C-alpha cells in the first residue's frame, strides 16, 4: 500500500526529534487524541450505570393534572439559572430541567416533598420525573410535565424511616413524533434524551422512646 504524503511528513518530522524526546512526544499526542474520546465514552457509561434500561418507558402524552402542577412564574433567565445549579448529567443538550431544592426536610414520611421539579419554558418537550432509591426501586414517577410548568410538591410511593434518604432523579424528555393533521394533537412521542442528578430527603428527627411514669 503506498504511503501518503501526510504519513511521510509525520515520520520525517519525528526523525528530527531527538531520540530521548520521542517517547514523551508520542505520549502527549496520544493523550491529546484519547482524552476527548474517554470523556465522551465515560459520560455515556455513567448514564447507563445511573439509569436502568427498564426505567425510561414509552410516553403516551398523558400529562399531570392541573391540580398537581403550577405555572413557572420566574423569568426565563432565572429558570435557566436553576437548571445550571441542578448540575444534571446525561443528555444535557437535549433539554433543560431544574430541581429548585435538592435537599428537602419533612417532619413525617407522608408529608408533601417540595423538590420543585420544573420544565423551563425554553423547552419544546414534555418531561417525566422519576425517583429511584439507593436500591434502584421506584420511589416516585410523574406523568408528563409541560414546558413552563413545575411540580411544587410530590408524594412518594414508599414509607420511610426517620433520617436521611438519597435518591437518583431521572428525567426523560419526549417531543411529538406524529401529529394528527386534523386535530393538530400529537399521536405518538419520541424520547429525545435522559438526564439525572442526586437528591436528598431528610425525614424528621428521630426521638428516643420514653416510658410514662
Instruction: State the fold for domain 70-203.
Output: Immunoglobulin-like (2.60.40)
Q: Rounded to an integer, what distance in angstroms lies between the CA atom of residue 50 and that of residue 52?
A: 7
Closest listed residue to residue 176, CA positions, set 192, 160, 165, 163 = 192
Cα dihedral 198/120/36/3 (nearest 10)? 150
Query: Contact, 86 vs 102, CB < 8 A?
Result: yes
Q: What is the pLDDT of residues 7-18, one digit of tens each?
A: 555 555 545 656
All 3 cell numbers of residue 177? 413524533
Beta-carbon contacts of residue 141 (< 8 Å; ≥ 6 apart) = 128, 129, 130, 131, 157
What average pLDDT does this structure show over 159-182? 94
Residue 138 near residue 186, CB atoms below 8 Å: no
Q: How far is CA 3 from CA 9, 11, 13, in A?
A: 10, 11, 15
Domain ranges of the chain: 5-50, 70-203
Q: Confidence band (pLDDT; 50, 70, 90) for 29?
A: very low
At 213, the pLDDT band (50, 70, 90 cuts) reads very low
Cell of residue 68, nine digits = 398537581
Query: pLDDT tens digits for 120-150?
Result: 999 999 999 999 999 999 999 999 999 999 9
pLDDT digits (tens, 9 = 90+) for 39-91: 444 445 455 556 777 899 999 999 999 999 999 999 999 999 999 999 999 99
Q: Give the pLDDT of residue 138.
A: 93
Among 19, 14, 120, 123, which residue's Cα sits nearest to residue 76?
120
Amino acid at each position: 500500500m503506498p504511503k501518503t504524503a501526510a504519513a511521510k511528513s509525520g515520520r520525517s518530522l519525528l526523525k528530527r526529534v531527538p531520540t530521548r524526546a520521542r517517547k514523551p512526544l508520542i505520549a502527549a499526542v496520544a493523550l491529546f487524541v484519547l482524552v476527548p474520546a474517554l470523556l465522551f465514552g465515560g459520560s455515556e457509561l455513567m448514564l447507563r450505570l445511573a439509569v436502568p434500561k427498564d426505567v425510561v418507558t414509552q410516553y403516551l402524552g398523558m400529562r399531570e393534572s392541573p391540580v398537581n402542577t403550577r405555572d413557572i412564574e420566574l423569568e426565563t433567565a432565572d429558570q435557566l439559572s436553576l437548571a445550571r445549579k441542578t448540575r444534571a448529567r446525561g443528555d444535557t443538550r437535549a433539554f433543560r430541567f431544574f430541581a429548585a431544592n435538592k435537599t428537602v426536610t419533612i417532619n413525617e414520611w407522608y408529608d408533601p416533598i417540595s423538590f420543585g421539579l420544573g420544565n423551563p419554558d425554553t423547552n419544546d418537550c414534555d418531561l417525566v420525573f422519576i425517583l429511584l432509591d439507593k436500591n434502584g426501586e421506584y420511589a416516585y414517577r410523574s406523568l408528563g410535565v409541560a414546558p413552563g410548568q413545575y411540580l411544587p410538591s410530590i408524594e412518594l410511593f414508599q414509607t420511610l424511616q426517620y433520617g436521611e434518604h438519597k435518591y437518583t432523579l431521572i428525567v426523560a424528555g419526549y417531543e411529538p413524533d406524529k401529529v394528527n393533521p386534523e386535530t393538530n394533537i400529537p399521536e405518538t412521542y419520541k424520547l429525545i434524551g435522559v438526564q439525572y442528578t442526586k437528591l436528598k430527603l431528610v425525614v424528621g428527627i428521630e426521638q428516643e422512646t420514653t416510658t410514662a411514669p
